[in-house]
């Protein structure tokens, strides 16, 4: 198990990355276990009988064929030793292990029952809250309609009026909602009783199922070890009738020991190297490390332009517009969206020339840092073995057009109580408040195609020659900043810049001028005409018309000694002088 973890760490792959690669490469010929089972096997569960899985992991993570052969020999030797030791240990303790096995089986059964009860309780609490809300809504509607009915009683007080029918229907809804609420309360009370019984059973079997097994001794029932149980505590945001607020239901479950103290043990035993790392670094040193990394990252990228290019470049790489014509994030496949996190990490390391860490992704200011990317703000999930580590967290939301990057040290008290199937947990409200932001709410690069009308984009892509598509993009997208991604998708050719150069004189005959952010004189013209700022690697097109004395208060530029201004939409097309598109305009 430790060898596989070391191999995976050296390859720079997470469990999810490894599982995804095995799925894509087909090393196990359709017999790849589910991700949760795969995670358990990599942590030692049933690993002795998973020889094919071990071979596949080694082949994915190894650097070359020679390295693969060496690692395969090591793993095979370790498997032989483990099987031999297991057979010897089974023979030595065959007569004394039955009681320990019974205890372990009972504990596993009780734990599973406890988990199922917790899920049932959470469902019933949520149902009760929904029923209470529906009940209150029905009561308010009934009261309102009764008032309306009383107001119109002089005209018609019969039970067959529209208001009367509506009142009866709402009364029926109210009765149903109250019945649902009462059933949910009863189910909740029953779940509480069953949880109490299970907790008493766990407390009576106060045993560490793993203690003493390495030497062949039966586990004992006394000692300092406390088996964790789970208690359901009343939430501070519960309603007056005992129904928990659904918005706060994540705080219902608290993990405690049998003696009632909070259980602060890690959910997964850390590696020896991780233990050494966390023991030698005091809290004050950890805070100092965070501050040093924060200062270095801010110094490298004070305005966020480099990080913005990393995110935009990662998306452009996966969209591959030159070969696919895609230009929107929504067009990424599920596998590509999963790979986006890795792509951002790789491009970040290359952009800032970061040295790989021994355990984590890279080093900054001499401290190891891991990177986590999520498309949703707050959607980062951290593995159990990452407790105490520094994380550079990145998120980019294409719908909001914003991105964020910050630094946080992941600590148990900053994590949510719930976890996913792989044991990963997200940051709690306290954890999100502890993030030290480097850039917050920064705008993503704005591309032209996603913001143009769909019918216009369809017309552009309907043209066959690449040159015609590029010209139509600039002709139909005047005043819009066009990016390389836009041009790659429209031209579907690596040399898209050549198409822009060809479009410049052609569109000048229609009074349209193309300005490029890579040319200082074009940037100056754009500024003088009041156009959006032009960055390197972007273009903008603008229709111009001759300026007359009545337009003296409008921005103008001089070409061939004559002033020109931004043309109105209905202005006639007047060809521009040659000096405009030959970059000699003043």
Q: What is the DSSP string of 360-396?
A: SSEEETTEEEEEEEESSTT---B-GGGTT-EEEEEEE
Strands 556-559 and 512-516: unpaired
Are 469 and 445 in contact, with CB atoms under 8 Å apart? no
Q: How far is the CA of 399 from the CAs of 272, 333, 422, 446, in angstroms? A: 43, 17, 29, 11
DSSP annotation of 415? B
**Domains in the chain and their CATH numbers?**
2-92 (no CATH), 100-256 (no CATH), 274-443 (3.40.600.10), 449-581 (1.10.10.10)
Average pLDDT over residues 315-330: 94
Q: Which of 82-91, 404-413, 544-553 comes out lowest in average pLDDT?
A: 82-91
Count CB neighbours of 123 within 10 A: 14
Please determine, for residue 241, whether its predicted confidence score (pLDDT) is greater than 60. Answer: no
CA distance 112 to 199: 12
Reported confidence tier of residue 393, pLDDT bands at 50, 70, 90:
very high
pLDDT exceeds cutoff 70 at 293: yes
Which residues have a Cβ under 8 Å from the Cβ of 534 and sit 6 or more positions away? 481, 515, 516, 517, 522, 523, 526, 540
Q: Which of 442, 214, 149 is nearest to 310 (CA)?
A: 442
Higher pLDDT, 548 or 190: 548
Taking the CA atoms of residue 307, residue 309, residue 478 and residue 510 in that order, the dihedral angle to the nearest 10 degrees is 150
> Residue 75 has what pLDDT?
72
Instruction: Give, in order, the Cα–Cα distances in Å from 329 to each of 283, 312, 334, 340, 448.
Output: 41, 10, 11, 10, 14
The arithmetic mean of pLDDT across residues 4-29, rounded, is: 69
Question: Quick one: pLDDT at residue 414?
Answer: 93
Reported as a single tens digit per residue, the pLDDT across 489-522 is 999 998 999 999 999 999 999 999 999 999 998 9
Chain-centroid distance, C-alpha 210: 35
pLDDT, tens digit, for every residue of 176-195? 766 766 666 666 666 656 65
Token match 């390389």: residue? 484
* Band of pLDDT at residue 101, cut at 50, 70 and 90: low
Q: What is the DSSP string of 428-478?
A: -HHHHHT-EEEEEEEEPPPPSGGGS-HHHHHHHHH-SSHHHHHHHHHHHST
Kindly tell me if the per-residue pLDDT of 448 is higher than 80: yes
Q: Mean pLDDT of all residues in the chain?
A: 75
Residue 143 has pLDDT above 90, yes or no: no
Of 81-85, 98-102, 392-396, the range with the lowest mean pLDDT is 98-102
260 pLDDT above the threshold of 70: no
What secondary structure letter does DSSP report for 81?
Answer: H
Quick check: 209 pLDDT over 50? no
Contact between residue 124 and residue 184 where contact means Cβ atoms under 8 Å apart? yes
Cα–Cα distances (Å) from 333 to 319, 321, 323, 379, in that order, read 9, 14, 15, 19
Q: What percent of the chain has pLDDT over 70?
A: 58
pLDDT for res 585: 40
Ramachandran assignment for 534, one of left (phi > 0), alpha (psi -120 to 50 degrees), beta (any other): beta
**What was the pLDDT predicted at 496?**
92
Better pLDDT: 531 or 58: 531
Which whole-number Å values give the CA distances from 563 to 13, 527, 532, 585, in the listed order? 60, 16, 21, 11
Cα separation, 399 vs 457, in Å, equals 19
Confidence of residue 213 (pLDDT cuts 50, 70, 90): very low
pLDDT at 281 (0 to 100): 42
């Amino acid at each position: 198990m430790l060898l596989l973890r070391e191999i995976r760490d050296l390859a720079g792959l997470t469990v999810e990355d490894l599982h995804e690669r095995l799925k894509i490469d087909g090393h196990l010929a359709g017999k790849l276990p589910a991700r949760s089972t795969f995670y358990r096997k990599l942590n030692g569960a049933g690993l002795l009988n998973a020889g094919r899985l071990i071979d596949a992991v080694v082949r994915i993570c190894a650097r070359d064929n020679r390295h693969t052969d060496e690692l395969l020999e090591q793993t095979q030797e370790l498997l032989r030793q483990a099987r031999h030791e297991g057979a010897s240990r089974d023979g030595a303790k065959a007569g004394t292990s039955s009681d320990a096995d019974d205890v372990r089986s009972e504990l596993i059964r009780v734990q599973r029952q406890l988990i199922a009860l917790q899920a049932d309780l959470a469902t019933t609490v949520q149902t009760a809250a929904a029923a209470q809300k529906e009940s209150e809504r029905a009561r308010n509607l009934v009261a309102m309609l009764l008032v309306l009915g009383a107001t119109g009683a002089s005209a018609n007080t019969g039970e067959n009026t529209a208001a009367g029918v509506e009142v009866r229907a709402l009364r029926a809804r109210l009765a149903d909602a109250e019945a649902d609420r009462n059933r949910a309360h009863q189910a909740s009370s029953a779940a509480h009783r069953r949880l109490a019984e299970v907790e008493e059973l766990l407390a009576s079997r106060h045993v560490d199922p793993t203690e003493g097994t390495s030497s062949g001794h039966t586990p004992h029932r006394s000692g300092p070890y406390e088996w964790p149980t789970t208690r359901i505590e009343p939430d501070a945001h519960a309603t007056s009738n005992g129904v928990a607020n659904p918005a706060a239901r994540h705080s219902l479950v608290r993990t405690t020991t049998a003696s009632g103290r909070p259980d602060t043990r890690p959910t997964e035993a850390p590696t020896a190297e991780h233990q050494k790392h966390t023991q030698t670094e005091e809290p004050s040193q950890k805070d100092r490390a965070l501050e040093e990394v924060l200062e270095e990252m801010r110094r490298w990228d004070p305005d966020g332009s480099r990080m913005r290019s990393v995110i935009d470049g990662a998306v452009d790489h996966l969209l591959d517009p030159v070969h696919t014509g895609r230009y929107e994030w929504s067009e990424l496949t599920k596998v590509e969206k999963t790979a986006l996190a890795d792509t951002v990490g790789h491009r970040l390391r290359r952009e800032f020339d970061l040295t790989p860490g021994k355990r984590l992704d890279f080093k900054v200011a001499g401290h190891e840092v891991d990177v986590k990317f999520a498309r949703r703000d707050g959607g980062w999930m951290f593995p159990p073995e990452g407790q105490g580590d520094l994380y550079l967290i990145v998120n980019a939301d294409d719908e909001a057009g914003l991105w964020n990057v910050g630094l946080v040290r992941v600590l148990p008290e900053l994590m949510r109580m719930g976890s996913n199937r792989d044991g990963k947990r997200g940051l709690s409200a306290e954890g999100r408040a502890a993030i030290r932001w480097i850039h917050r709410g920064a705008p993503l690069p704005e591309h032209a195609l996603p913001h143009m009308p769909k019918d216009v984009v369809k017309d552009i892509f309907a043209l066959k020659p690449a040159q015609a598509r590029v010209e139509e993009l600039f002709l139909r997208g005047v005043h819009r900043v066009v990016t390389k991604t836009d041009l790659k998708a429209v031209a579907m050719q690596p040399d898209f810049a050549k198409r822009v150069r060809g479009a410049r004189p052609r569109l000048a005959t229609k009074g349209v001028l193309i300005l490029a952010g890579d040319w200082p004189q074009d940037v100056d013209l754009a500024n003088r005409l009041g156009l959006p700022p032009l960055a390197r690697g972007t273009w903008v097109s603008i229709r111009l018309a001759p300026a007359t004395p009545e337009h003296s208060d409008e921005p103008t530029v001089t070409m061939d000694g004559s002033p020109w201004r931004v043309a109105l939409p209905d202005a006639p097309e007047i060809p521009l002088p040659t000096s405009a598109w030959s970059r000699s305009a003043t």
